[in-house]
Amino acid sequence: MHMTKYKNHSRFIIFAFVVLLGGFTLSDARADLIYYADDGMVVGEGELFSSRTTLYSKSVTNGWFTVPDESAGAGTITNARGGAYIQLLPDNASPGSPNNPPEVFYKMQIDNPGTYRLYLRREGNFTDTSTSGSSDSMFLDIVELKDGSTGVYGSPTNAIADWYEVAGSVDGNFATTPWSSSCEPEVNDAGASGYDAEWLIPTQGVYTLRFTQREDGAALDAWVFQLNTLSAPTGDGPPVSATEPSHVVSLVVGDTYIRRNDDGAPYGTNTTLRVKNDLTESPSGLDRSVFLRFDISALSDLEGMILTNATLKIDLLNEGIGTNHYIYVAVIGEDATAETFDELTFTNGVSDIGSELNEENLDFSKLYGGAAVGSFLITESDQNTTVKFSDPDLLSAIRADTDGVLSLVLYRTDDHPSSDDFASKEHATRYMSCLDIVYRPEKFGSIILIY
């Protein structure tokens, strides 16, 4: 297996490796990503996760964010593998609990049963002594391995650690103590230690490694899950394990909204993106449409690959109508100047496709395919979640791209005076929008006929 280095294409986090069948694979953090063990070892990157959840509790919102792509992070932490890691943010001294949100998950295919030990490359916010002491611990567990916490750990009634607490000093440098397995089972105490993070993997199968919050500000660069008979990792550690399926994830590089008949100040620095179709008049000067711009230039690296799916993901803050309704998605054509809009200067006055994309004020000739590529349903229960849109026409637009830029417009045709609000990339506690693009090798290998 040949390993290449990270490539940074603007808002891409891309990892590449060549698998034995000859397929060239890039992967990023997606819900169906699975790491594959090799000779009793699985190696994962913090930012290459399978899924994650966010904690929404009264005024507290915490989640695992990729630094520096999704957030600048809390404090300065150096020597991350590949230049990226994940961190519990914001760092506002909010406590957490084991096996509860905010969570980040890593799925692993284990083929060799046995006792496995987990090594972490972790750190915390080392801005000063107060932040370092309150960002140096986290919880972790294997979701599928539980027996309850009745009795003393290690006894017949409590043979499995339902969770471990990991704690220890931090100094803002992942390389100082690059790999540690020190922890304590089923506690929530300062200074947990005295044990190694170990589990008996009883059978082959997929197991899910989970990290949860004890203290925000804690950070994870990488992890190694291996048979406890193997030597502990050193230095930067072994290369990341093979994963599937293959994804390229493009984070939004520009987002804003514009109001009909409003040539004033742009809204590109707002934390909220608003979609609205006001019933007070038609068309209304209060109507709003959202614009999203993505850099998809890294797709040009996928020689010999076929794009198989594309999904827009965007965090919904508020559903404004109170009943189920649709948000329409259109792709701006490459002949429109709006495709390369600048969120800091883009207003109704400079848009060449119309300020509100509905039947009254729309230049269909400026859209890919001359119409919206589809729509997605939103409901009240979708508030504070990531909503998704996928359609073959969106995939077709990405396949047809020639300039490495894909810009979308989100609009609504249902009338109501309240807006549907989405998180912009400037939002402090929500994830920025992204395009998740799945691909596969054009040829999976050779078929040999034997006569």
Quote the pLDDT of residue 58: 61
| Model confidence at 83: pLDDT above 50 | yes
| Model confidence at 221: pLDDT above 50 | yes
Least confident of 127-136, 143-152, 357-366, 442-451: 442-451
Render pLDDT for 165-218 as a digit per residue (tens, 0 to 9). 999 999 999 999 999 999 999 999 988 999 999 999 999 999 999 999 999 999
Phi, psi of 368 (to 5 degrees): -60, 125
Rg over CA atoms, the chain: 24
Render pLDDT for 206-215 as a digit per residue (tens, 0 to 9). 999 999 999 9
In whole angstroms, what is the distance from residue 420 CA to residue 274 CA?
6
In whole angstroms, what is the distance from residue 405 CA to residue 295 CA?
5
CA-closest candidate to residue 327, choices 417, 432, 410, 386: 410
User: CB burial class (10 A; 0-12, 13-18, 19+) of residue 435?
Assistant: buried
Quote the pLDDT of residue 28: 35
Q: What is the pLDDT confidence band of residue 292, given thresholds at 50, 70 and 90?
A: very high
Token digits for 393?
Answer: 């026409």
In whole angstroms, what is the distance from residue 8 CA to residue 27 CA?
13
- Of residues 255 and 278, more confidence is placed in 255
Cross-strand pairs, 213? 138
Token digits for 220?
Answer: 């994870």
Q: What is the pLDDT confidence band of residue 22, given thresholds at 50, 70 and 90?
A: very low
Say if strands 103-110 and 51-53 run parallel, antiparallel, or are unpaired: antiparallel
Q: What is the pLDDT confidence band of residue 260, given thresholds at 50, 70 and 90?
A: confident
Quote the pLDDT of residue 110: 97
Q: What angle do CA 164, 168, 171 make, to 5 degrees?
A: 140
In whole angstroms, what is the distance from residue 246 CA to residue 31 CA?
12
CA 271 from centre of chain: 18
Alpha helices, DSSP H only, in 78-182? 129-132
Quote the pLDDT of residue 154: 86
Quote the pLDDT of residue 56: 73
- Give yes or no for a contact between 356 and 285, defined as CB atoms under 8 angstroms apart: no
- In the chain, the amino acid numbered 414 is D
- State mean pLDDT over 47-66: 85
Least confident of 38-47, 95-104, 122-131, 286-295: 122-131
| Model confidence at 258: pLDDT above 80 | yes
In whole angstroms, what is the distance from residue 117 CA to residue 138 CA?
17
- In the chain, the amino acid numbered 279 is L
Domain range 31-244, CATH class: mainly beta
Render pLDDT for 309-318 as a digit per residue (tens, 0 to 9). 999 999 999 9
Q: Specify the DSSP class assigned to residue 69.
A: T
CA-closest candidate to residue 430, choices 143, 91, 54: 54
Quote the pLDDT of residue 445: 46
391 CB neighbour count, 10 Å cutoff: 18
Quote the pLDDT of residue 363: 64
Token digits for 410?
Answer: 């989100």
Cross-strand pairs, 406? 294
For the chain, the domains span 31-244, 252-441
- Of residues 235 and 305, more confidence is placed in 235
| Model confidence at 21: pLDDT above 50 | no
Render pLDDT for 332-380 as a digit per residue (tens, 0 to 9). 999 888 899 999 988 765 665 654 444 445 566 788 988 899 999 999 9
Q: What angle do CA 332, 309, 66 make, to 5 degrees?
A: 85
| Model confidence at 281: pLDDT above 80 | no
Quote the pLDDT of residue 18: 29
- In the chain, the amino acid numbered 302 is L
235 CB neighbour count, 10 Å cutoff: 8
| Model confidence at 326: pLDDT above 60 | yes
CA-closest candidate to residue 258, choices 287, 229, 298: 287
Helix (H) or strand (E) holding 395: helix 392-399
- In the chain, the amino acid numbered 111 is D
Arithmetic mean of pLDDT over the chain: 85
Quote the pLDDT of residue 382: 93
Render pLDDT for 387-397 as a digit per residue (tens, 0 to 9). 999 999 999 99
| Model confidence at 252: pLDDT above 50 | yes
Q: Specify the DSSP class assigned to residue 377.
A: E
In whole angstroms, what is the distance from residue 405 CA to residue 7 CA?
18
Quote the pLDDT of residue 9: 36
Q: Is 39 left (phi over 0), alpha (psi -120 to 50) or beta?
A: left
CA-closest candidate to residue 138, choices 99, 194, 92: 99
